[in-house]
Amino acid sequence: MLKSRLFWPVIILLIILAINLFFDPGFFKIEVKNGHLTGSLVDIVNRGAPLMLISIGMTLVIATKGIDLGVGSVIAMSGSIAAMTVVQGMASDTSLTPLFMAIAAALGLSLAAGLWNGLLVSRIGIQPIVATLILMVAGRGIAQLITDGQITTIYYEPYSFIGGGYLFAIPFSVYLVAAVLGIALYMTKKTALGLFIQSVGANPEASRLAGINSKNIILLVYLFSGFCAGVGGLILSSNVSSADGNNAGLWFELDAILAVVIGGTSLMGGRFFLMGSVIGALIIQSLTTTIYSIGIPPETNLIVKAVVVIIVCLLQSPEFRQKVLRPRMKKPHKKEPENSLNEQGVKIS
Amino acid sequence: MEKHFPKLEMKGITKTFPGVKALSNVSLRLFPGEVHALMGENGAGKSTLIKVLTGVYTKDEGTVTLDGKPVEVSTPLEAQNLGISTVYQEVNLCSNLSVVENIFIGREIIKRGRIDWKEMNRRAKELLTELNLDIDVSKTLGSYSVAIQQMVAIVRALNVKAKVLILDEPTSSLDLNEVQQLFATIRKLKKDGLCIVFISHFLDQIYEITDRLTVLRNGEWIGEYKTQSLPRYELISKMIGKEFIDSKSINENPVAENKGVSETVMEAAQLSKAGNIHPFNLELRKGEIMGLAGLLGSGRSELARLLFGADKADSGTIKVKGKKVHLNSPKQAIAHNIAFSSENRKSEGIIGDLSIRENMILALQGRQGWFNYMPRKQQEEIVDEYIKLLNINPPNPEQLIKNLSGGNQQKVLLARWLLTNPDLLILDEPTRGIDIGAKAEIQKLMVSLSEKGMSILFISSELEEILRTCKRISVLRDREKVSELENREHITQQDIMREIAGGVG
């Protein structure tokens, strides 16, 4: 089951990477420089860390038939409050205290944001898209209040470690992704949470009658989504050593939803695929990298991205594959399914 | 009234769906100026017949004649153009649009390429006044009561110069006054020579408003009768039928072994919910099967839902094993060892996208909580055991439940609750829509569970099934528990039917 679900996303990821190899023969090369792993692949994983994190949270929200539009704003809030805490803390202290204060403030605020979304959806019963839209708008406002509408730059070495540091030659953000993914996988596979999320998403009334407390499940997934966005916001703001309430995490919610859908989780709720979403996030990140590295004019960036996304979604749809691909496979000279697939994909675009 | 020729006649209508014969040689005659009831229990074929008449389904065999001329109705639009209009059970209008807009939506009056609001307003008022209804047509439909919305739906149907008007359960959400208002409208339309098909589960209303009726059962035509000359009790027996299927394998005489007075598992006193069920008392003892009989809409499911906390009661008390409890949610009821399998298997029972295994362990896991997740191996052992015990097909725990037949889905749901080892098991129509073999298996299982001490509240529309398995039978009529019968030797289906009908006939 899982294998077949991950098949198409992985193939697509490989195709995108292969295209890069065509333009840059050294694309797959990974070297150790100054005790750091470097190379394009490492870059993609490193850059993609925030999106991967947010997609993990978004996956569980979508599995309950919900959606979280607030994650982009939570990124901005989290990064802003962390940076401002560091700025204020540095005046009096040069130890690591400001760092921990910043992390605590950022995660606390993100969890509060997730709690807010979760309460609106599960207790008050507002439709998820409307409920989280509130935070999408208000959160960015709060972030701007925190930063006073300015882009504040931070000169504090420990803070940039979160997004830019290396541990045992591997970027630190990769550990963060691995840890959050590990928690999510553990909770959904080794506890009954995964079963409950799927049943609440697939049939809320039947789940209620089976004695599942769907309200708490829903609250929890929004809380977790807020947490993921908070960690993502820390990484992003640490990466650039600044706090930008205006632009940090802008449109991240849409990329995350895309990543989840590419990964095979249906917006109708129910079955979800955490690994699929992570791969979906990597696809989006490598696409962005590719567009820059092979020299597609930046103006067409968004359009190229959209076209690829359409192709990916079409390939994911069994109905589409059946309608378009089957007649071709019936041809006397059997082609490899993947070949006919690519041709078809290009035609559609 | 001249009744020489029927206005509309359906003859020998047969309709088959894959695997099911929904209608077999069914006829319907409608005379001008009559109200005709279409009677039958769930699955009798009423709605299929209506859908054939209105062009939603295409018939396999049979003829339809309108005004003596044969017609072929293959789309709903054709039906409308022929003058056959339907008002469905749930008012399917747009409550956020105005009354006028609702009446004319899809066939607006156009003048010089633009909508002629003035004319539409005038015409809407005219139509409503014909039905003695004086309302502001520019207000949104949602601001009026359901009865008026229903009337607007009728006006909409009449606006196409209807000859035949089909009212499908028009009164199910109306109160008594509103029903009278609707009946006044129906009488007026009848005087104008319209044929009206009236579908309702409320017998009182059938006897009040209809002239003749046609009874269907299991897709077959049972007969056409004058309403006033058919006693209620006979009508019900025609609707429900009297056939007995082979019953050798099942407890022939459930009352034979009377083990003295056993302990009370659940006791409900003056439990009620406004609009759902009138206050009732109910006592369930250990190891007994109690049947709930009554027509559809008589409040059977509503009663059961209160006992499970699926709906919250307005008043009354529930005692479980002598202790007073509050059941505000299914979760609480489950904690008190109560289980409930809903009649709506698809929307309230199965989780279609999950596997047999996941569906089966759901309630037990829900009670155990997140962190006491049963190890996969234990899950598989339990599931395999129940697949064997209940003879579930296919015997593959990872099969998605939506791919199973109705009977097998029902068995998985039964297993879901048996896993929780309940003291009280409430089964709402567990045998509806499943084949005879699976039916007998489920009945047998119920009897053997009760012998092991489980009490079961069993809701069914099939009286012979209730008589075969239950020790006591509670009868409901019009959202009220009206009587309780001991299932003794001499009790027959006729006795229960008489109770359902209200002692008349």
Residue % of chain B over a pLDDT of 70: 90
Range of the domain at A246: 2-301
Mean pLDDT of the B155-183 span: 79
**Range ranked top by mean pLDDT from A21-30, A113-122, B493-502:** A113-122
Mutate to test the interface with A, among B327, B340, B354, B413 (most CBs of A within 10 A): B354
pLDDT tens digits along B474-499: 988 888 888 888 877 677 777 888 78
Peptide bond into B394 cis (omega under 30): yes
Q: Is B329–A208 a contact, with Cβ atoms under 8 angstroms apart?
A: yes
Distance CA A150, CA A167 (A): 32
B21 and B108 share one domain: yes
Looking at per-residue pLDDT, the higher value among B263 and A58 belongs to A58
Least confident of A333-342, B82-91, B112-121: A333-342
Number of domains in chain A: 1
pLDDT score of B461 more than 60: yes
User: In the numeric block, which tokens belong to residue B496?
Assistant: 């229960």
Looking at per-residue pLDDT, the higher value among A334 and B122 belongs to B122
B416 within a domain of the structure (yes/no): yes
pLDDT number for residue A57: 94
A324 within a domain of the structure (yes/no): no
Which of B421, B443, B461 terminates a domain? The answer is B421
Q: Is A198–B334 a contact, with Cβ atoms under 8 angstroms apart?
A: no
pLDDT score of B228 more than 80: yes
pLDDT number for residue A23: 79
pLDDT tens digits along A162-177: 877 778 878 888 999 9
Q: Residue B117 phi/psi, 5° resolution?
A: -65, -40
Distance CA A20, CA A254 (A): 25
Distance CA B99, CA B91 (A): 13
Q: What is the DSSP letter of B94?
A: -
Q: Residue B293 phi/psi, 5° resolution?
A: -110, 155
pLDDT score of A346 more than 50: no
A220 within a domain of the structure (yes/no): yes
pLDDT number for residue B108: 80
A347 within a domain of the structure (yes/no): no
Average pLDDT over chain B, rounded to an integer: 83
Q: How confident is the model at residue B352 (pLDDT cuts 50, 70, 90)?
A: confident
For residues A67 and A225, is the Cβ–Cβ distance under 8 A?
A: no
The domain that holds A88 is classified in CATH as 1.10.3470
Looking at per-residue pLDDT, the higher value among A12 and B20 belongs to A12
Q: Please name the member of B347, B351, B369 whose beta carbon is closest to the beta carbon of A199.
A: B351
Nearest to residue B422, comparing CAs of B303, B307, B340? B340
Contact A190/B at CB under 8 A: yes
**Range ranked top by mean pLDDT from B89-98, B197-206, B216-225:** B216-225
Q: How confident is the model at residue B437 (pLDDT cuts 50, 70, 90)?
A: low
Amino acid at residue number B69: K
B167 and B301 share one domain: no
A329 within a domain of the structure (yes/no): no
For residues B265 and B284, is the Cβ–Cβ distance under 8 A?
A: yes
Nearest to residue B435, comparing CAs of B403, B417, B410, B461? B410
pLDDT tens digits along B23-37: 889 999 999 889 999
B258 within a domain of the structure (yes/no): no
B171 and B319 share one domain: no
B21 within a domain of the structure (yes/no): yes
Amino acid at residue number A245: G
B39 and B140 share one domain: yes
Beta bridge partners of B475: B293, B483
For residues B166 and B84, is the Cβ–Cβ distance under 8 A?
A: yes
Radius of gyration over alpha carbons of chain A, in Å? 21
Contact A213/B at CB under 8 A: yes
Least confident of A15-24, A98-107, A149-158: A149-158
B202 within a domain of the structure (yes/no): yes
Q: How confident is the model at residue B390 (pLDDT cuts 50, 70, 90)?
A: confident
pLDDT score of A93 more than 70: no
A89 within a domain of the structure (yes/no): yes
pLDDT number for residue A96: 65
B331 and B350 share one domain: no
pLDDT tens digits along B283-297: 888 888 999 988 777
Q: List CB contacts (< 8 A) between A210 and chain B.
A: 330, 362-363, 366, 416
A323 within a domain of the structure (yes/no): no
Contact B350/A at CB under 8 A: yes
Contact B365/A at CB under 8 A: yes
Number of domains in chain B: 3
User: In the numeric block, which tokens belong to residue A93?
Assistant: 């202290």
A47 within a domain of the structure (yes/no): yes
B85 and B170 share one domain: yes
A342 within a domain of the structure (yes/no): no
Q: Please name the member of A193, A202, A207 whose beta carbon is closest to the beta carbon of B353.
A: A202
pLDDT number for residue B258: 47
Q: Which residue of B has its CA nearest to A202?
A: B351
B397 and B480 share one domain: no
For residues A70 and A254, is the Cβ–Cβ distance under 8 A?
A: no
Other CB atoms within a 10 A radius of the CB of residue A82 amount to: 31
Q: Please name the member of A192, A193, A202 whose beta carbon is closest to the beta carbon of B351.
A: A202
Q: How confident is the model at residue A119 (pLDDT cuts 50, 70, 90)?
A: very high
Q: Residue B200 phi/psi, 5° resolution?
A: -160, 155
Q: Which residue of B has its CA nearest to A211?
A: B331
B316 and B352 share one domain: no
Q: Is A205–B329 a contact, with Cβ atoms under 8 angstroms apart?
A: no
B257 within a domain of the structure (yes/no): no
Contact B310/A at CB under 8 A: yes
Looking at per-residue pLDDT, the higher value among A35 and B250 belongs to A35
Residue % of chain A over a pLDDT of 90: 30
pLDDT score of B253 more than 50: no
B213 and B355 share one domain: no
Give the residue ranges of DSSP H helices in A120-264. Answer: 128-147, 157-164, 172-190, 193-202, 204-209, 214-240, 252-262
Q: How confident is the model at residue A92 (pLDDT cuts 50, 70, 90)?
A: low
Range of the domain at B21: 8-230
Q: List CB contacts (< 8 A) between A209 and chain B.
A: 308, 310, 330, 340, 342, 348-349
Mean pLDDT of the B61-90 span: 85
Q: Residue B398 phi/psi, 5° resolution?
A: -95, 0
pLDDT score of B89 more than 70: no
B269 and B132 share one domain: no
Contact B402/A at CB under 8 A: no
Contact B237/A at CB under 8 A: no
Residue % of chain B over a pLDDT of 90: 14
Contact B413/A at CB under 8 A: no
Distance CA B91, CA B147 (A): 10
Q: Which residue of A has its CA nearest to B340?
A: A209
Distance CA A240, CA A238 (A): 5
B436 and B409 share one domain: no
pLDDT number for residue A61: 95
Contact A209/B at CB under 8 A: yes
Q: Is A199–B363 a contact, with Cβ atoms under 8 angstroms apart?
A: no
pLDDT tens digits along B336-351: 999 999 888 888 899 9
Q: How confident is the model at residue B104 (pLDDT cuts 50, 70, 90)?
A: confident
Q: Please name the member of A191, A199, A208 whose beta carbon is closest to the beta carbon of B354.
A: A199
The domain that holds B282 is classified in CATH as 3.40.50.300
Amino acid at residue number B374: M
B256 within a domain of the structure (yes/no): no
Q: Please name the member of B353, B362, B369 whose beta carbon is closest to the beta carbon of A210.
A: B362
Q: Which residue of B has its CA nearest to A189?
A: B373
pLDDT score of B244 more than 80: no
Q: How confident is the model at residue A225 (pLDDT cuts 50, 70, 90)?
A: very high
* Chain center to CA of B169: 11
pLDDT number for residue B435: 65
Mutate to test the interface with A, among B334, B347, B350, B353 (most CBs of A within 10 A): B353
For residues B263 and B428, is the Cβ–Cβ distance under 8 A?
A: no
B472 and B485 share one domain: yes
pLDDT number for residue B249: 38
Q: How confident is the model at residue A1 (pLDDT cuts 50, 70, 90)?
A: very low
Q: Is A270–B354 a contact, with Cβ atoms under 8 angstroms apart?
A: yes
Which of B389, B421, B453 terminates a domain? The answer is B421
Q: Is A206–B347 a contact, with Cβ atoms under 8 angstroms apart?
A: yes
pLDDT number for residue B130: 76
Q: Report A:251-270 residues touching B (Cβ under 8 A).
A: 270
Q: Which residue of B has its CA nearest to A212?
A: B366
For residues A100 and A123, is the Cβ–Cβ distance under 8 A?
A: no
SS3 A203: coil
